[in-house]
Amino acid sequence: MAGQRWWALTLCCGGLVACDPAAFFPLGPQTPPGRPVPVDPGLVEPEPSEPEPSAAEPEPGEPEPAEPEPTPGLSEPVVLEPFEQRDGDPAAGLSYLVSADYVGCGLPASFVSDTLGLTAPVELRVEGRPDEYADVRYDYNVFVNEDGVELAAANCLSCHAAPLRGELVMGLGDVNRDWSGDIGPVVNNDLSFFFADVDERAAYQKWRRHMIAVADYVQVQTRGHNPADNLAAALFAHRDPDTLAWSDEPLLEPPPETPVPTDVPAWWLMAKKNAMLMTGAGRGDHSRIMMTASTLCVDDTVTAAAIYEDMDDVRAYIASLTPPPFPGPIDAGLAEVGEGLFVQHCASCHGTYGDHPSYPNLLVPVADVGTDPMLAQGAAQLSTRFVEWFNDSFYGETATLVPEVGYVAPPLDGVWATAPYFHNASVPRLSQVLHSPSRPAGFYRSFDADAYELDDPGWPVANGPADSGQFNTALPGHDNQGHTFADALDDADRDALLEYLKTL
């Protein structure tokens, strides 16, 4: 098996925050033969007079997410009220995050080490681990289960930390992982014969049983998107809400097989946000929502309650994170002009920064912001049956899902580092957020963390092969229109606004 490519897929911390997948699969080609892929749309710039890409039909044979269930719309922005969170110890939270078993399963560590490799270079290690695991790569935890088996499992950092320009940035959503491969053939291939030890074999079989159940629901259409929302829904479908007991057969109708396109938001924004999820649906106790990672393999409420006791520390750690400072030069005079423009045109939704920061916590109607509505219209785990499951379950004891047709106007701390932009990662550069006519109808961006550019923050784009790396805005959920609030500015004002955004 050495030399094969291995992938991770588990629900990492905060499955409901687009946080989510990672465990281990030997995967062949990133895009299996015969799988439909978006056609190469090139780099055609849309004309303002042309119909918006959302009206276009997908290519023949392209899988479509099911129509979302209707949800009452918002008529005006809503203020998301605060909820008193539990206090916690950030240092203890980091240690738990990178050391503990909070997903309830994994693969024997020796097997993972021999196939994937667990030892990381210094720049891909994290603090807070026991000495014996200090050299393990940042996105995996190694621990000993109740049967004495040393297991390795992907952790929350699989989606919520990422290399960028030579540094590992804690809390940065990883938009370069590729979830477009089909894992079904892999998990359906029983490798029990690898494990002579009966306890190791049992650990593998538990992991595999859960992976088989979700394999059909985690293959995204476009590289850079994250299947966390669909994965959460698929896991809910296999659990009793009262006991969390697992069923190999679904107890609810599973979600559509094709995940709705979503990005991974930066963790450091949680210090300001009163509600979780891009739609603001995650209300109440943040730490209870974050621990939905445990829906992967935690099969009883007693174990889940024990994990919950440590999640206050994890939440405190996440709230302690700050964005990386912009590493390039900034024209201070231009940025000062941009600050005035920001206060005039942007602050009412995105808040103010500097010595006297504020953040309004607004949920904005889709009709007002104009971005792709699919995620906000009751998709994936926000479909009625999954909302009811969550709210009636152990997780709903101190938290609740409240879906509404809107998107949270996020804080913009560290916005320079979080391309591609919008909730569906449809805009590769920050300047294009400020000028909708400049957004390409399709692009193939770089997935090289060292290629991220600073002058106009974002990813370089070029023509690329006709595979899942192609971003086609005509596909369902991929639209890049809306948020036209800066279109009326002239080029000089947009340049000044862009320079100010680098300082946040």
Summarised one tens digit per residue, pLDDT across range 272-292 is 999 999 999 999 999 999 999
**pLDDT at 69 exceeding the cut of 50:** no
Nearest-angstrom CA–CA distance, 220 and 261: 7
**Contact 160/141 with Cβ under 8 angstroms?**
no
Q: How far is CA 131 from the centre of its chain?
A: 30
The set of residues, in sequence order, having a beta carbon less than 8 Å from that of 12 and lying 6+ positions away, is 19, 20, 21, 22, 103, 154, 155, 156, 157, 158, 159, 160, 293
**pLDDT at 15 exceeding the cut of 70:** no
**Contact 287/432 with Cβ under 8 angstroms?**
no
Task: Indicate the pLDDT class of residue 133, thresholds 50, 70 and 90.
Answer: very high
Left if phi > 0, otherwise alpha if psi is -120 to 50, otherwise beta: which for 423?
alpha
pLDDT of residue 72: 55
pLDDT of residue 429: 97
The set of residues, in sequence order, having a beta carbon less than 8 Å from that of 259 and lying 6+ positions away, is 65, 217, 218, 219, 220, 225, 226, 227, 229, 230, 231, 380
Say which range, 145-154, 255-264, 457-466, 494-503, has the weakest mean pLDDT: 457-466
Percent of the chain, pLDDT > 90?
Answer: 80
Average pLDDT along the chain: 87
Please tell me whether residue 219 adopts helix, strand or coil conformation: coil
- Nearest in space to 177 (alpha carbons), one of 158, 164, 157: 158
- Nearest in space to 228 (alpha carbons), one of 438, 57, 16: 16
**pLDDT at 459 exceeding the cut of 80:** yes
Summarised one tens digit per residue, pLDDT across range 187-202 is 999 999 999 999 999 9
Nearest-angstrom CA–CA distance, 261 and 234: 16
pLDDT of residue 204: 96
pLDDT of residue 382: 83
Summarised one tens digit per residue, pLDDT across range 188-237 is 999 999 999 999 999 999 999 999 999 999 999 999 999 999 999 999 99
Please tell me whether residue 368 adopts helix, strand or coil conformation: helix
Task: Indicate the pLDDT class of residue 70, thresholds 50, 70 and 90.
Answer: very low
**pLDDT at 245 exceeding the cut of 60:** yes
Rounded average pLDDT over 338-351: 97
Query: Which one-letter DSSP state was computed for residue 354?
Result: S
pLDDT of residue 74: 79
**pLDDT at 9 exceeding the cut of 50:** no
Nearest-angstrom CA–CA distance, 86 and 290: 13
pLDDT of residue 18: 32
Query: Which one-letter DSSP state was computed for residue 44?
Result: P
Predicted TM-score (pTM) of the model is 0.86
- Paired tokens of 303: 């174990």
